[in-house]
């Protein structure tokens, strides 16, 4: 019991350095807390989450996704093959070909667990196909989404046509709007 109390106290001091609220909760409840990005391992995500088999076509950017749990009017294809979490494996951002109009389609973000096996870390949502990936060298990269300002376009304001809509940041289990 003494060791348990010592561990709780040591964890409380550690958490205090990060967040005073966490210290109060830890003292009151005896729980310790993790903080998303720093403490989430890919192995945990892969073993606890729904996995997908993604097969890339060798002669194109098309991709087969199993199970297919999304609507699609065409063949999904990857727009980015990039290491989003700095683990040395290529992850995929996929245009799922479910489009509300010619400029907005649903995109999914898939993190590679092992060869051909991925987890989805973003609930597919409509994006303008213009976005960029941050150059974070240490943790998870951010995904910056853009949108087209129709009013600026109609008014001829060329420098205001494309603006930042949202930034997606990894929260520990999934990408969410920052």
pLDDT, tens digit (0-9, with 9 covering 90-100), for 60-115: 999 999 999 888 888 999 999 999 999 999 999 999 999 887 778 899 999 999 99
My answer on whether 56 and 119 are in the same domain is: yes
pLDDT at 119 > cutoff 50? yes
My answer on whether 86 and 74 are in the same domain is: yes
My answer on whether 65 and 126 are in the same domain is: yes
My answer on whether 134 and 62 are in the same domain is: yes
pTM score of the predicted model? 0.71
My answer on whether 15 and 39 are in the same domain is: no
Give residue 25's domain range.
Answer: 1-33
The pLDDT tens digits for 7-41 are 444 544 444 333 333 323 333 333 333 333 444 68
My answer on whether 22 and 39 are in the same domain is: no
Question: Does residue 89 contact residue 43 with C-beta atoms inside 8 Å?
Answer: no
My answer on whether 113 and 27 are in the same domain is: no
Domain count, the chain: 2
Instruction: Note the pLDDT of residue 40.
Output: 64
Give the position of tokens 């709780």.
8
Element (H, E) at 175: strand 175-177
* 111-113-114 Cα angle (round to 5): 130
My answer on whether 127 and 68 are in the same domain is: yes
Residue 111 neighbours by CB distance under 10 Å: 25
My answer on whether 7 and 49 are in the same domain is: no
Instruction: Note the pLDDT of residue 17.
Output: 38
Give 55 or 101, the one with higher predicted confidence: 55
The pLDDT tens digits for 133-165 are 998 878 899 999 988 777 877 888 877 777 888
> DSSP readout, 90-136?
-EEEEEEEEEEETTEEEEEEEEEEETTEEEEEEEEEEE-S-EEE---
Mention every residue, 6+ apart, whose C-beta is less than 8 A from residue 38.
139
My answer on whether 98 and 41 are in the same domain is: yes
My answer on whether 101 and 165 are in the same domain is: yes
My answer on whether 144 and 64 are in the same domain is: yes
Question: Does residue 78 contact residue 92 with C-beta atoms inside 8 Å?
Answer: yes
Q: DSSP 3-state assignment of 171? A: coil
Instruction: Note the pLDDT of residue 26.
Output: 32
């Amino acid at each position: 019991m003494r060791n348990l109390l010592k561990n709780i106290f040591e964890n409380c001091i550690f958490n205090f350095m990060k967040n005073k609220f966490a210290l109060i909760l830890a003292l009151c409840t005896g729980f310790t807390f993790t903080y998303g990005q720093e403490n989430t391992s890919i192995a945990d995500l892969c073993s606890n989450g729904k996995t997908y088999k993604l097969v890339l076509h060798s002669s194109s950017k098309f991709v087969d996704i199993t199970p297919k749990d999304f609507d699609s009017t065409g063949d999904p294809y990857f727009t980015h093959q990039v290491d989003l979490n700095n683990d040395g494996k290529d992850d995929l951002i996929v245009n799922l070909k479910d489009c509300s109009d010619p400029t907005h389609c649903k995109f999914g973000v898939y993190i590679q667990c092992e060869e051909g096996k991925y987890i989805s870390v973003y609930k597919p949502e409509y994006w303008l196909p213009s976005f960029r990936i941050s150059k974070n060298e240490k943790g998870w990269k951010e995904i910056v989404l853009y949108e087209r300002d129709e009013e600026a376009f109609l008014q001829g304001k060329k420098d205001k046509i494309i603006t930042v809509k949202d930034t997606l940041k990894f929260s520990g289990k999934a990408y969410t709007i920052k």
